[in-house]
Structure 1
Amino acid sequence: MARRKSAERMRKVGPSGVETLPQRLIDVPAIPTGCRPHLTERDRWQWHRTDGGNPLTTVQDFLTHHGLPVTDLTRPTTPGDHRPGQVCGAALYVSAAAGAHLLGVPTPTEPAPTLPDVVAVVYHHTTRPTPHTPPPATDWTLGPWQDSWTPHAHAHAVQAVRDAIGRGDVYQVNLVGHASAPYHGDPLPALTRLATLPGARYGGTLTGDGWAIGCASPETLVEVTGDRVLTRPIKGTRPATPAGRHDLLTSAKERAEHIMIVDLERNDLAHIAHTGTVTVDQLYAVRRWCDLWQAESTVSATLTHGTGLADLLHAVCPGGSVTGAPKRSALHHIAALEPTGRGAGMGALGWIAPGHLDLGLTIRTAATDTDHLHLWAGGGITWDSDPTAEVAEAAAKAAPLRALLAGTPPPPKPADYPCQP
């Protein structure tokens, strides 16, 4: 009886929203390309912080109930079943606020409270593939952007972090600002356009009743294949010019900030890894995202046998590159300094299938509620940070997303410096 009640509770949110409409292509970030036109939604579960309980164990139970092997990610599995009517995999979204909540850290009020904090959507293959056609044109209008803090308030928060570093409270804190704009029309085509941005490794959308998320993230929060787990933190930004690339490669400040986060990610993986297996496979590789150069590293490890999805998410959420070091202390400063919650930004979004999990960190991410579009951008603050430069960096990160969401194409890229994935 208890098991039946648990299953009924996990199925309390059925297929809903834009994704259930047959003319919409399932476009979750990291979904296998070949499966995309053949999927339809079977079931979904979602959680808000006001629901209480531990969402990580419940979402693990929900996915297990649908036959996805997530109680032990290291157990050998066969590939997903692609026959009609059989479960292929699931989309998973976890907000940054959910991760902070599980660590016992308060978060600011969310600007889009209808957006859930955890969502899992199970998909199966259908006998009627969705045609790969662009969504119909709609009367899409986007109103003026309203920032949640002024440049002066943002700069003041940067200085407050520098003061905290001077006191020895933290080594680094990632500060994120929010902006919103009223809209009219169907937001999904605009959110879908984000995936066209160069370097959008996790480009795609996820939707539900009264909300939608569009992602153009280049950053891997966590990927698991077999018993191997990896993360690719990105930290360090410069304009995508020859001089900017040279400056990023030679900047002692950016390299120190980056290595600090690499060490934090190594520590996060060590909680779920066999002792001695955590390695830095690549350190400080400079790659391009739109009009910016960014530094990326790859950290990997061998998972401890018996590590489940809940264990994995508890270890890595929220991501170290968008919190700071030490993580718990940085989260307390974030809660005190940021003007509003991070909503869909700085969380996790991706795909789970038998034998493979791939979640992107939701930077370069926008979300909509019923009448406003929301966007988040920020950067890591260290003792050497210049408040004016940090404000400018956050604006530079948000600019290509704002342009594309409004329907304005980004400026052409120089041919001699092509964008990298």
Structure 2
Amino acid sequence: MKPVGLYPTHGPARDIPGIPASCRDQAWERSRFEWRVGDPGDPAALVESFLTRHNLIVNDVSACCTSSEVPDREHDICGAALFVSAAGGAAMAGGRQGAPSPVPSVPDVVAVVYAHSATVRPQGEPDAPSGQTHGDWRLGAWRPSWSPADHAAAVEQVRASIARGDVYQVNVVGHASAGYTGDPLPALRRLTRLPGARYAGILSGDGWAIGCGSPETLLRVRGGEVLTRPIKGTAPATAAGRAELLASPKERAEHVMIVDLMRNDLSHVAVTGTVRVPRLFALRPWCDLWQAESDVTARIRPGTGLAELLRAVCPGGSVTGAPKLAALAEIARLEPVGRGVSMGALGWIGPDSIDLGLTIRTAAVDGTSVHVWAGGGITIDSDPWAEVAEAAAKAAPVRTALHS
């Protein structure tokens, strides 16, 4: 069953995270690419080729995002939405695949090209204005994919793997779903309005929708420079929570480990010697939580295409662990349900910039259920039940927004 009230395919781009304000309500879908794990081909290369064919020059991102000139958008391509699932990112990185997604209707890679022209709007296409709803919204009880005890046991298994030297850190994620009736779009919009959401928006397709309220920058390219902002470290957004997070050697060590991983990831596409960490372990609020984030930057090596860039950073280090491929193997071994739309990427690729958020604090809707995920990074010093509580604290604002 298709979710009631979702934008039809070929709809407007108004809700895409990162879309320029000048394009909202004026850019309409022209073409769409979708790929699922098991489909032929390299998804990173296929996305690059698809976007290049539609006049988004992404075969050299060191050059395509340096111009300050804005094209004539009256009839030209405005830009494209890009979504990569956790499984899609693992495929790009050559990592082990985990359990199947609980939302198989959502493709693992989606690229949607938009044209800034009313002429591409299909005849008779409804506007689907933001206030439109179809039926009363009712959300049922949440059904977790594992119990708190199972989650705690997975944390213990990661600690054992770290003790053996298999990994240094692994991000462990849980999933829950709830049945619904009515129109899910207003609920997804409430999620996008959560305080601190840098990447706030919705992407939909045939029988599915993604709502994102993420605070984390996975990848931003402007003027030939690339930026990633890994988030690692969480505490209540109180004065005491701030002091505790800043003073915690465990949280700082966990954070610095992921910063080092992201420095290594960017080094694969960077001009030698240009990788920098201009901001380390800065606290930023998201809802009622403090989150620690850092800036990792580099100048992109000439000739680097979007495919190479995606392979370097996907899936994000803050939601995998270190070393990345070993962490992906641990995730596949431990998590009973696939990560689906979470822990992936969603954002906008324009003629002068790339801006992708990491899909934490993100929900997916199919024809019958809403799905959410939450987790955290595990180190040798992690307390299993504290990790369970942290994941619940991250999921709580998302669930509340969906219920309201």
Same fold, judged at TM 0.5 (above): yes
CA displacement at 1:226 relative to structure 2: 2.1
The separation in 1 between residues aligned to 2:128 and 2:87, in whole angstroms, is: 36
Structural mapping, 1:97-112, within 5 Å: 97-102=87-92, 103-112=94-103
AA in 2 matched with 1:151: P
The separation in 2 between residues aligned to 1:268 and 1:378, in whole angstroms, is: 22
- Tell me the matched-pair count: 390
In the TM superposition, structure 1's runs of 4+ consecutive aligned residues that sit over 6 Å from their partners are 128-132
Any idea what SS the aligned residue of 2:89 has?
helix
Structural mapping, 1:49-68, within 5 Å: 49-68=37-56
AA in 2 matched with 1:398: A
CA displacement at 1:78 relative to structure 2: 5.6
Instruction: Name the counterpart of 1:123.
Output: 114
Any idea what SS the aligned residue of 1:70 has?
coil
Instruction: Name the counterpart of 1:406.
Output: 403
2:165 maps to 1:168: yes
The TM-score, its normalising length taken from structure 2, stands at 0.93
Report the RMSD for the aligned CA atoms in angstroms.
1.7
Question: CA contact under 8 A between 1:20 and 1:40: conserved in structure 2?
Answer: no
CA displacement at 1:82 relative to structure 2: 4.9
Question: CA contact under 8 A between 2:28 and 2:118: conserved in structure 1?
Answer: no
The separation in 2 between residues aligned to 1:185 and 1:79, in whole angstroms, is: 44
Instruction: Name the counterpart of 1:13.
Output: none
The separation in 1 between residues aligned to 2:73 and 2:267, in whole angstroms, is: 38
Structural mapping, 1:249-268, within 5 Å: 249-268=246-265
2:60 maps to 1:69: no
AA in 2 matched with 1:47: W
Instruction: Name the counterpart of 1:415.
Output: none
CA displacement at 1:18 relative to structure 2: 1.7
Question: CA contact under 8 A between 1:100 and 1:106: conserved in structure 2?
Answer: yes
Partner deviation per Cα, 1:342-362 (whole Å, 9 max, x = no partner): 000000000001120000000
The percent of aligned pairs where both chains have the same amino acid is 61
The separation in 2 between residues aligned to 1:187 and 1:79, in whole angstroms, is: 39
CA displacement at 1:250 relative to structure 2: 0.4
Instruction: Name the counterpart of 1:18.
Output: 7
The correspondence for 1:28, drawn from 2, 7, 16, is 16
Partner deviation per Cα, 1:55-77 (whole Å, 9 max, x = no partner): 11111111001100100011244
The correspondence for 1:144, drawn from 137, 141, 154, is 141
5+ residue gaps, structure 1, are 1-16, 408-421
Instruction: Name the counterpart of 1:393.
Output: 390
The correspondence for 2:297, drawn from 297, 300, 306, is 300
Which stretch shows the higher mean deviation, 94-103 or 326-335?
A: 94-103
AA in 1 matched with 2:214: S
The correspondence for 2:155, drawn from 140, 155, 158, is 158
Larger relative contact order (C-alpha < 8 A, sep ≥ 6)? 2
2:20 maps to 1:37: no
CA displacement at 1:35 relative to structure 2: 1.4
Instruction: Name the counterpart of 1:113.
Output: 104
Question: CA contact under 8 A between 2:27 and 2:118: conserved in structure 1?
Answer: no
5+ residue gaps, structure 2, are 1-5, 122-126
The separation in 2 between residues aligned to 1:395 and 1:273, in whole angstroms, is: 37
Which stretch shows the higher mean deviation, 56-65 or 123-132?
A: 123-132
Any idea what SS the aligned residue of 1:221 has?
strand
AA in 2 matched with 1:84: E
Question: CA contact under 8 A between 2:200 and 2:214: conserved in structure 1?
Answer: yes
The separation in 1 between residues aligned to 2:276 and 2:369, in whole angstroms, is: 43
CA displacement at 1:369 relative to structure 2: 1.2
The correspondence for 1:330, drawn from 327, 332, 354, is 327
Which stretch shows the higher mean deviation, 121-130 or 237-246?
A: 121-130
Instruction: Name the counterpart of 2:79.
Output: 89
C-alpha change, 1:80 and 1:183, in structure 2 (3 Å) is farther
The correspondence for 1:231, drawn from 225, 228, 232, is 228
Any idea what SS the aligned residue of 1:247 has?
helix
